[in-house]
Amino acid sequence: MQTGKDHRLTFDSASPLDLKKIIEGLEQFIDSEDIELLLKDKHILIGHGRRLEVYLLSKSLWSLYKSLREWRHPYFIGIFLGEIRGKILKPSLHICHRLSAETVDNAVVATPKGEQQFLYGKNLESNHLLKLPKDNVNSEVLVMNQRGEVLGYGILEKESRGKIKLRNRKDLGWYLRRGG
């Protein structure tokens, strides 16, 4: 594996354990058929840096990568799937973009006011949530607006008095707050 101070990440193929974590991470939001579709004909690369980053490459990009990898490691390549943290992949915002009401069933729907709050990085109280999936307390759920567009994801938590609250884990507002 090539290293050097100019390279933020060094890249390697995914190990079977990485692959397991990736699939488990995606399964939180996407069913296995759609995961298969997402990974079909793609190469998976793991970027090793401060974190483990997962990238998907098409055939054309894979051949460009191969022709350059002895020279420099990429800063960024293809589809950024997310980061492996501990036991599981934390899906990226890019993956949120790829999902829509048709492809997911594990989602909450935010009110217009809730949409704005969520995009400011805030948690959502139950009065800002229109539709709750059943039996999903303490697991990750996607957050959509009323048009079925994915805004990010969070964890549904039950508060002491039985009220449901959504804790923000990742939202598209990141592009404004941190992205640039």
Partner 1 sequence: MSGKRVQRLARRFGYLEYMIERYLTLFGEEAEAFLEGNDRHIPKTIRCNTLAIEPQLLGKRLEMKGFDLEVVQGIDYAFRMTSGEFPLGATTEYLLGYYFVQSQASMWAVEVLNPKGSEVVVDMCAAPGGKTTHIAQLMENSGALLATDISRKRMRGLRSNLSRMRVENVLALRVDAAHLPETGIQADKVLLDAPCTGEGLIPLQPERKRSRTLKDVETMAAVQRKLIVVASKILKEDGTLVYSTCSFAPEENEEIVNFALQNCPLRVVDTGLVFGDPGIRAPFGRVMDDSVLNARRFYPYKHKMEGFFICKLEKITA
Token pair of 89 as six digits: 């992949």
Binding site for partner 1 (CB under 8 A): 6, 8, 56, 58, 60-61, 63-65, 67-68, 71-72, 74-80, 92-94, 97-98, 115, 119, 145, 149, 151, 172-173, 175-176, 178-180
Query: Closest CB to partner 1 among 161 and 178?
Result: 178
Phi-psi map region of 148: left, alpha, beta (phi>0 left; psi -120 to 50 alpha): left
Strands 140-144 and 107-110: parallel
CB of 171 vs partner 1, minimal distance in Å: 8
Q: Report the C-alpha gap between 36 and 24 in whole angstroms.
A: 13
* In the complex, minimum distance from the CB of residue 120 to partner 1, in angstroms, rounded to a whole number: 10
Of 84 and 93, nearer to partner 1 (C-beta) is 93
In this structure, what are the phi and psi dihedrals at residue 162, rounded to the nearest 5 degrees?
85, 0
The least distance separating partner 1 from the CB of residue 164, rounded to whole angstroms, comes to: 24
